[in-house]
Amino acid sequence: MNSLTILGSTGSIGLSALRVVRSAPERFKVFGLACNRNLEILSKQIDEFKPAVVAIGDESVKDSEFVVLLRKRFHTVEFLFGEDGIIELASRKCDIVLSSIVGGAGLKPSLAALDGCRRLALANKETLVMAGDLFMKQAAEKGVELIPVDSEHSAIFMLMRNVEQSELERIILTASGGSLRDYPVEELKSVTPEVALKHPTWSMGSKITIDSATLMNKGLEVIEAHYLFDTEYDRINVVVHPESIIHSMIETVDGAVYAHMGQADMALPILNAMTYPEKIKNSFGRLNFTEVGKLTFREYDSKRYPALELCYAAGRKGGNTPALLNAANEEAVYAFLDRRIAFTDIVKIVEKTVSLGRFRSAPDLNGIFESDAEARDIAKGLIREIKI
């Protein structure tokens, strides 16, 4: 039986991971759970899965009545608090750590996990976007298996099992196109958060859903794929595939294209990451081609999705540029969700922030975090200047 720690247990990835555990209780034992402050869901998870350690990121709730009662009720559970508590949990000895904290906040716990686990199931793409070179080097030095959880990268990982790097021509990342893929481009400025959050295929958190609408998420995934599969940016392509049945493809040098297909359910790539190289039977649904009917593809429109080109440019420039881009995007997305800026302002703020931020060609970890903080300050200043 494998011990499992889930960082971000109350988010969409964490909830799907616990579905996997529930489906195979003889294979997995939950060791640790971490969340920010969704205490009601966390309480139910502790009751069902009985972890040894729980970390709550929002330290302000430490002395709240709910948490005091929670600690009394589960008196055998060790409770940790704050960012340091999550990092401490991540570093504890465990077979598998699933890193699914959203955004740049997931980088430190992902790094800490390399000290204690034998396998890191990585769902936090920002870990590689912000610190790809450093992270991949540390993972290799510490002998930790790194298995991607994003559906696209999970698909490529599975497809590459029997393909040598020298045989790979290109990687083709598929994108649903998000909630606004058919929305008139000239009306995007007036889009409300409610409209942008209605993803046609996937059930995700609000930040990732907005990133899907701008296609920023796919741009971040391009950078992630560059590091995971040691592939040049010119050989990583993006195609819009509205049905979300093909999760990604690879093309080999002989011109053959291999596609990975399946239900649009994150439980499947999570299961793959947790059981690799074994395949186990599950009840997460099966693909019925007669119900799917057709598979369609289209080129992405750079006018509709300017964020994607920003990500390619940031990845090629390297250094701290992806970290600047990621931090600015997080601030801009949350500002849009708070109705402080328009939807089309998101990419403008990111582009301006990257141009104003100090470039570092080979930042160490401190330099990455300094760049993250600098970009957030710049982005917040630009957001304050916007009147909508």
Buried b (16+ CB within 10 A) or exposed e, 20-58: bbebbeeebbbbbbbbbeebeebbebbeebebbbbbbbb
Percent of the chain with pLDDT over 90: 91
Name the DSSP class of 167.
G
With a CB cutoff of 8 Å and minimum separation 6, the contacts of 219 are 307, 308, 309, 310, 311, 312, 314
With a CB cutoff of 8 Å and minimum separation 6, the contacts of 67 are 39, 56, 61, 79
The arithmetic mean of pLDDT across residues 71-97, rounded, is 97
Helix (H) / strand (E) element for 28: namely strand 28-35
CATH 1.10.1740.10 in the chain, residue ranges: 157-266+297-385
CATH 3.40.50.720 in the chain, residue ranges: 2-124
The arithmetic mean of pLDDT across residues 76-84, rounded, is 97
Q: How confident is the model at residue 388 (pLDDT cuts 50, 70, 90)?
A: low
123 backbone dihedrals φ, ψ, rounded to 5° = -110, -5
pLDDT tens track for 128-184:
999 999 999 999 999 999 999 999 999 999 999 989 999 999 999 999 999 999 999
203 backbone dihedrals φ, ψ, rounded to 5° = -105, 110
Q: Are 324 and 374 in contact (CB under 8 A)?
A: yes
Residue 385 has pLDDT above 60, yes or no: yes
Burial class (CB in 10 A: 0-12, 13-18, 19+), 19: middle
Residue where the block lists tokens 């002395």: 63
Q: How far apart are CA 125 and CA 99, in angstroms?
A: 9
pLDDT tens track for 279-327:
998 888 888 999 989 999 999 999 999 999 999 999 999 999 999 999 9
Mean pLDDT of the chain: 95
Residue 238 has pLDDT above 80, yes or no: yes
Q: End-to-end distance of the chain based on CA atoms, in angstroms?
A: 54
Percent of the chain with pLDDT over 70: 99
Q: How far apart are CA 203 and CA 206, in angstroms?
A: 9
Q: How far apart are CA 153 and CA 229, in angstroms?
A: 9
CATH among 1.10.10.10, 3.40.50.300, 1.10.3720.10, 1.10.1740.10 for 157-266+297-385:
1.10.1740.10
Q: Are 179 and 195 in contact (CB under 8 A)?
A: yes
Greater pLDDT, 286 or 228: 228
**pTM here?**
0.94
Tally of CB atoms within 10 A around 280: 12
**What's the half-sphere exposure (Cβ side, CA atoms, 13 Å) at 310?**
29
Q: How confident is the model at residue 126 (pLDDT cuts 50, 70, 90)?
A: very high
Long-range contacts of 197-204 (CB under 8 A, 24+ apart): 200/176, 200/242, 201/176, 201/242, 201/243, 201/244, 201/264, 202/176, 202/244, 202/264, 202/266, 203/12, 204/12
CATH among 3.40.50.2000, 3.40.50.720, 3.40.50.620, 3.30.70.20 for 2-124:
3.40.50.720
Name the DSSP class of 256.
-
Residue 202 has pLDDT above 70, yes or no: no
The arithmetic mean of pLDDT across residues 370-387, rounded, is 95
Nearest residue to 208 via CA among 306, 199, 342: 199
Q: Are 124 and 205 in contact (CB under 8 A)?
A: no
CA angle at residue 56 from 266 to 26, to 5 degrees?
A: 50
Peptide bond into 51 cis (omega under 30): no
Q: Are 9 and 35 in contact (CB under 8 A)?
A: yes
Q: What's the pLDDT score for residue 281?
A: 87
Residue where the block lists tokens 């034992």: 29
